[in-house]
Amino acid sequence: MLGLVLDGAKRATASLVAEFAIEGQPLPRIGGHWIACDSTGRPRVILRSIELRIARFGDVDAAFAYDEGEDDRTLESWRENHRRYWQRVAPTLGFEWTEQHEIVLERFEVAWTAE
């Protein structure tokens, strides 16, 4: 995913609200910064949150799916891939994922790169 961020294709991400709660982390805030590292743990980019909203699976639109920059960038592939991912990950966190779980939809911009 880091490559998609660095080449500009990925400008959004989606996470389950439940994941933040389970990990004891606060939800992101507009203007907040976070660091994305490469596979060796080296910081490669600092991102700034520019838009946040809480939604349900069925509320995600095609524009957000496109901005997430993954697969073919369609809403159909976004739904297929995220459904499969959350169905796999949720049990490891102690719950069963459904389409009614709240999702944090976050758009971001690159504030700094290591290059």
pLDDT digits (tens, 9 = 90+) for 56-107: 999 999 999 999 999 999 999 999 999 999 999 999 999 999 999 999 999 9
pLDDT of residue 103: 98
User: Could you tell me the pTM of the whole model?
Assistant: 0.93
Give CA–CA dist 7/95, Å, rounded.
35
pLDDT of residue 44: 96
- 1 confidence band (pLDDT: 50, 70, 90): confident
pLDDT of residue 83: 98
User: In the chain, what are the domains?
Assistant: 2-113 (3.10.400.10)
Closest-CA residue to 51 (of 63, 43, 39): 63
For the cut 80, the answer to whether the pLDDT of residue 20 exceeds it is: yes
For the cut 90, the answer to whether the pLDDT of residue 115 exceeds it is: no
Q: Which class for 65: exposed (0-12), middle (13-18), buried (19 or more C-beta within 10 A)?
A: buried
